[in-house]
Structure 1
Amino acid sequence: MSSNFKNSENKNLSENENPKKSLIGIKPYWIYVFFLVSMVLLILISPLVRTNEISWLKFENTMLSQHDVAKIVVVNKEVAEIYIKQEKLQDPKYQVLANELFTSKIGPHYTITIGSVESFETKLEKAQEGFSLEDKIDVFYQNRTNLIDTLFWILPFAIIIIFWLFIFRRIGGASGAGSSLFNFSKTNARILETEGKSAVTFKDVAGLKEAKVEVMEVVDFLKNPEIYTKLGAKIPKGVMLVGPPGTGKTLIAKAVAGEAKVPFFSMSGSEFVEMFVGVGASRVRDLFKQAKSKAPSIIFIDEIDAVGRSRGKVNAFQANDERESTLNQLLTELDGFGPNTGVIVIAATNRPDVLDKALLRPGRFDRHIYLELPNKTEREEIFKVHIRQLKLAKDIDINSLAALSPGFSGADIANICNEAALIAARHKKQLIKQSDFMEARDRVIGGLERKSKIISPKEKKIIAYHEAGHALASWYLEHVDSLVKVSIIPRGKSLGATWYLPEEHQIITKAQFLDQLCASLGGRAAEEIIFNEVSSGALDDLEKVTKQAYNMVAFYGLDDEIGPMSFYDSTGENERFLGKPYSENMAMLIDREVKDLIGTAYNKTKNLLVKHKHELETLAKLLLKKEVVYLEDLETILGKRTKGIPANLKD
């Protein structure tokens, strides 16, 4: 859940007040565009306006000797411009001048590149020997500045300057504090004032009762501080919201913004750090300076782990790091010598294990609020919130939807409600039915059905017996969750699936672990019993079984041989070491116990399926026929299940 706060103080500037516009209402970048277009046009036109360049021999034989030249102008002692008499332009040999574009009738008509003025004068004087005084050509000397050549020199520098102006404007705009280059060190936090408060309140936050109580108390601190301060209590400085993704951390922050009658500053942890060294620390100082100036106020930092990672784990081989400087400044602002009265900082993260310990100590983030995945009752409340805007049919059972979505976060439930609406709209329905929610749940968990996927009859038979093995083992094992349906329709990456209705457990016993191992191995065991060979279809099952067995032996202390020992590292500090926290002999013992544990579970599952082989074949044939088998069909084949059935599925 993302938060998007708008600054209520920002108003539309008039044309005269907008600093990005000039006095005549033209934006600066239009000036840059006009300049570049003009330069390009000059470059394209310049070859067209140049006169024809000829050699001295042609000039002497066809023009000078025929008395066609009116005058010669020597420019910058480099080029001689030849002007032809107007009456001579009618001569056929000069008709090419009339056909050329942008050629002036006045001239110059031709040019000659001269080596030096002295050499040119000598050749001209020699060529005019025998000419009368009236026939001799007037020669003029001029010094000119060539605009085109000058522009060619200026153009590269102009492009570089315009490029850097553009970059500086983007940097200034990204800083959120105006378009000036020197404002990038200012904070770009979104500020929410009382008159433009968030539409989200605590009524929109379903579940999370304990978290709401603590956060509402923080809001009450700011509204009525005298109730607490008169008893000598100090208002907490920081509140850390910790929980898995989608549990409502940002939603609670939005609710705080909607409920609090104080300025609310919001920004993400990644917005502190930029490409320039020292910007993060400067933005932290500016953020707290603004918050203190409007105290009492609240600062919300989303995904604080972007800057709050442990200083011993990040960039340990670097002498200076921008994130570390930003974190040091944040620690100083939270609990420094300077007064910090009336400012409460709320931060959110789903990675509390990587945060620096100095950030979490009392006096900085005094309160840690843990948001867990919602239970069944809380999921019902969340469903009620998200279906307010939906057009529902009368068959909607919210209690059933909550029971069929264990382990779902608030974001997952919102996604299911939206998917159900999309599915109903896709089928041109007027109302959303219970079946649409069930299909949406299956799609969120397993992916989209792929009925068009081509599967050979032999592979389809293997898949049917594989899933029937899972279902049969689960049915007769006491501590396995109740079945809802079995399907051999490809969905997502899987070719088949066995759907359960998990019960919510806070702890899991050894017997429950063992039955779960057996149920996961039911598919492979069924393949071996029926076909006398196994396939690669049990890869996901074997991966899950192996991890679960290692957890039982090495983490939970459930192995009789190793005893009550755990090598689990809750702090994450051992991740930095390449070695394991136990000896090689212990590693060999763990491997042997895991192998024995999985082997025992597999043999137990095979014996169970051999005992009920007839039912296994009946269920597999029904799957091949119907592709999806529901609880009613399972009860017809296997009989009523009395153990392990949740109360809401019992008769």
Structure 2
Amino acid sequence: MGNNNKNKEKLNIGNMGSGNKAPKFNPYWIYGVVIIAFLAIQWFTLGGGPVETNWNEVKTTILANNDVKKIVVVNEKEAQVYLKESSYDKYSAKLNNGFTAPQKVGPHYFFEIGPPEAFANNLKEAQANVAEENKVGIEYKTVHNYLGELLNWILPFAIIILIWWFIFKRMSKGTGGGGAGNIFNVGKSQAKVFDKDSRVSNTFKDVAGLAEAKQEVEEIVDFLKSPTKFTKLGGKIPKGALLVGPPGTGKTLLAKAVAGEANVPFFSMSGSDFVEMFVGVGASRVRDLFKQAKEKAPCIVFIDEIDAIGRARGKNPNMGSNDERENTLNQLLTEMDGFDTNSGVIILAATNRADILDKALMRAGRFDRQIHVELPDLNEREEIFNVHLRPIKLSPEIDPAFLAKQTPGFSGADIANVCNESALIAARHNKDLVDKQDFLDAVDRIIGGLEKKNKIISVDEKRRIAYHEAGHATISWLLEHAHPLVKVTIVPRGKALGAAWYLPEERSITTKDQLLDEMCSALGGRAAEQISFNSISSGAQNDLEKVTKQSYAMVSIFGMSEKVGNVSFYDSSGQNEYGFTKPYSEKTAELIDSESKLLIETQYARALEVLTANKEGHEKLAELLLEKEVIFSEDLENVFGKRKWGKPLMVAEVKKEIAAGLLENKEAPATSESTTA
């Protein structure tokens, strides 16, 4: 039994050893083996060389003792001394240096001779008293070092080639396999190819919200799966679709979902992959990309951040210093318009700067469709939360609808960050489940930054901050169109010494009254300091910046000034982005300045009026904030009573109530003008 167990142990050990993966082969190992083999051959076969000495030692010792067999002058520079066989043992102690000892046949010593004539005379003088038969003569020999001469020719070129190879390898980013082949692959496409061997796992089920954009993209997949369904009536398959929207809204995720659903080859690359420091590389990569795509049609080509090469020609911020970008764009335009009809190659591209793209790139026939991927609304945020909450261990109290209401203006990437931060916060507090407070803390951290409870603030500063934040909270609670407040804190976060959280309404348009109420609320902090301390501080810098931008937008963009009139100087096309002239006169500029300043001063006076009329409630709220450091909307309700103005009904909610018979169906007059949120 004991022997059997030992045998089993040995077998198990053997199996474990055999299961280890062998190290991956590295081509540089070959270079190392060649160098070691070369050194070994030199070491063991050629043996050592002669020992260096000087003429004085040869003259006084070796030559004087009649131990020299012959002297050979090589290339008129070096004398090599050969010992007699009978005399070798006398010098073996000096010559025997292990593997470096000279061979017994010689040469045994060498030294530099200087001018050959002088050396001949010196040798003759040294042997003046020696019998003629014992004199040592000089043999002259010319030796050609072919290897050294060859290295002298080849080595400089080899160094240049190695440097060139190294630079090209770094610039080619490892495409086309290893080794020197990368030098010739710089102009090759850098696109990652996803086909049947390397499928993308994302599908349309992983894309929450974005209903309209997803529908447009799903049609592209249908085009590729069953093209005859759309072409039998004479239609043509769109050649390209451009995904446009703010950062983090899911443009790249949509493209990944297309790759996962289409079941056709999918080429993915970034716009910056076309741009290199070498002339012509970008255009070459474009040609190679489309060549591969045509060979694998039907397929999809996705170019992320296409504005890297698609910027309008002549609008380059480098002022024409980089023509390579324009050459790449020209090649892209040619390739996109050079397809045969219904070739089965569809181009997808994504950008958040569609206003700076070249008009030739945007025209029909290249990008036939522009798919706008906007920030998600309330219902879409709830769907996105449902996707990102799947891997998180949640408390039963978590309601995605509640979380969606707490994150207005958040993109899909922001919501993913909220979910991740909430899990990290819960883990930091050693919780088994992620609860509602963890999500609220995550939202606060993302919006305001990390709490700095240890920040040194004097008592007077803390009091001023409390009254400042209470001024914001008071005015926002008492004005109809100001955003309803969620909570106020005087705990420092990030760069802010205090902060107020509001819950903005989901608006499609904003009226002048709403903008003025928001402006008055933002100036509430400065007004509260003026009333309570009869002085102002630098704490309102952020508020003043926001209000200044808003007032200038009202006057010069939204046409909300009677004196300036119904004009807008905003260029939504982006064509004047690098212009040096204003689209209005100096007189109009002065009028815009005066009107903007008048708007701000009017709302500041209004904020002073509101706070003066509600001074007692404002002071009570500030003292409560000093005591608790964080107050919520319930505390404001206890001080000022319930807010008079409820939340306006959304269109979807009105339709639901009409369907339920709770509201009378009254049609609103239709409007057709374009509106700006």
Quote the offset at 1:87 in angstroms: 6.8
CA distance in 2, matches of 1:426, 1:152: 65
Partner of 2:413 in structure 1? 411
In structure 2, how many angstroms separate the alpha carbons of the residues matched to 1:623 and 1:646?
Answer: 29
Per-residue Cα deviation, 1:28-66 (whole angstroms, up to 9, x for no partner): 43344556789999999x9x9663332x34433344334
Aligned partner of 1:161 in structure 2 is 161
- In structure 2, the partner of 1:485 is 487
The residue aligned with 2:617 is: 615
Q: TM-score, normalised by structure 1?
A: 0.88
The whole-number CA distance in structure 2 between the counterparts of 1:30 and 1:401 is 57
Which whole-Å CA distance do the structure 1 matches of 2:552 and 2:642 have between them?
34
Residue in 2 aligned with 1:473? 475
Matching residue's letter, 1:121: A
The amino acid that maps onto 1:52 is: E
Tell me if structure 2 keeps the 8 A contact 1:204–1:385. Answer: yes
Per-residue CA distance 1:339-364 (angstroms, 9 max, x = gap): 56222111111110010111111121
Partner residue in 1 for 2:270: 268
Cα pair distance change 1:411/1:191, threshold 3 Å: same
CA deviation profile, 1:105-146 (whole Å, cap 9, x unmatched): 845454332233333222212221121134322533333355
Moved more, 95-104 or 435-444: 95-104
* Equivalent residues of 1:468, 1:616 under 8 A apart: yes
Name the residue aligned to 1:7.
none
Q: Which residue of 2 aligns with 1:121?
A: 120
Structure-2 separation of matches of 1:43 and 1:534: 86
Change beyond 3 A, Cα 1:452–1:620: same
Give 1:170 deviation, angstroms: 4.5
Matched, 1:255 2:257: yes
* Structural mapping, 1:437-456, within 5 Å: 437-456=439-458
Please tell me the residue identity of whatever aligns with 1:545.
Answer: V
Structure 1 residues 580 and 57, CA, compared in 2 at 3 Å: closer, same or farther?
same
How many residues align structurally? Answer: 621
Shift of 1:602: 0.7
Aligned to 1:390: 392
**Which residue type is aligned with residue 142 of structure 1?**
K
Q: Distance in 1 between matches of 2:159 and 2:586?
A: 66
Q: Is the 8 A contact 1:484 1:501 kept in 2?
A: yes
- Distance change in 2, residues 1:363/1:442 (3 Å): same
Structure 2 partner of 1:8: none
In percent, how many aligned pairs have the same letter? 57
- Partner Cα separation in structure 2 for residue 641 and residue 128 of structure 1: 125
| Aligned mates of 1:605, 1:570 — CA distance in 2 | 33
Aligned equivalents of 1:155 and 1:166: distance in 2?
Answer: 16
Q: 1:214 Cα deviation (Å)?
A: 1.3
| 1:37–1:525 Cα change, 3 Å | farther
Task: Single out whichever of 484-493 and 134-143 deviates more from structure 2.
Answer: 134-143
SS in 2 for 1:288: helix
Q: Is the 8 A contact 2:337 2:365 kept in 1?
A: yes
Greater shift in the superposed pair: 67-76 or 497-506? 67-76
User: Deviation string for 1:558-615 (max 9, x for gaps)?
Assistant: 1122221211111122223212111111111111111111111111111211222222
Structure 2: which amino acid aligns with 1:102? Answer: T
Tell me which moved more, 572-581 or 310-319: 310-319
- Between the aligned partners of 1:100 and 1:125, the Cα distance in structure 2 is 35
Query: Is the partner of 1:574 in helix, strand or coil?
Result: coil
* CA pair 357-150 structure 1, distance change in 2 beyond 3 A: same
Are positions 1:523 and 2:525 aligned together?
A: yes
Q: Secondary structure at the match of 1:573?
A: coil
State how far apart, in whole Å, the 2-side matches of 1:569 and 1:206 are: 33
Match for residue 51 of structure 2?
A: 51
Deviations 1:51-107 (A, max 9, x none): 3332x344333443343434322222211123456776787x996666899344845
C-alpha displacement of 1:272: 1.9
Counterpart position of 1:570: 572
> How many angstroms apart in 2 are the aligned matches of 1:133 and 1:407?
111
C-alpha contact 1:269 1:307 (8 A) present in aligned 2: yes
Q: Does structure 2 conserve the Cα–Cα contact (< 8 Å) formed by 1:49 and 1:102? A: yes
1:50–1:485 CA distance, 2 compared to 1 (3 A): farther
- Partners of 1:159 and 1:34 lie apart in 2 by 21
Call closer, same or farther: CA 1:101–1:257 in 2, change over 3 Å.
closer
Deviation at 1:150, TM superposition (A): 5.7
Task: Tell me if the contact between 1:202 and 1:255 (Cα under 8 Å) persists in the aligned partners.
Answer: yes
Selected match of 1:436 from 438, 461, 472: 438
Task: Please state how far the C-alpha of 1:466 moved relative to its aligned partner.
Answer: 1.1
Aligned to 1:218: 220
Which range moved further: 306-315 or 236-245?
A: 306-315
| SS of aligned partner of 2:568 | coil
> What is the TM-score when the length of structure 2 is the normalising length?
0.85
3-state DSSP of counterpart to 2:438: helix
Match of 1:307, SS state, is: helix
| Structure 2 residues without counterparts, runs of 5 or longer | 1-23, 651-677
Which residue identity does 2:254 align to in structure 1?
I
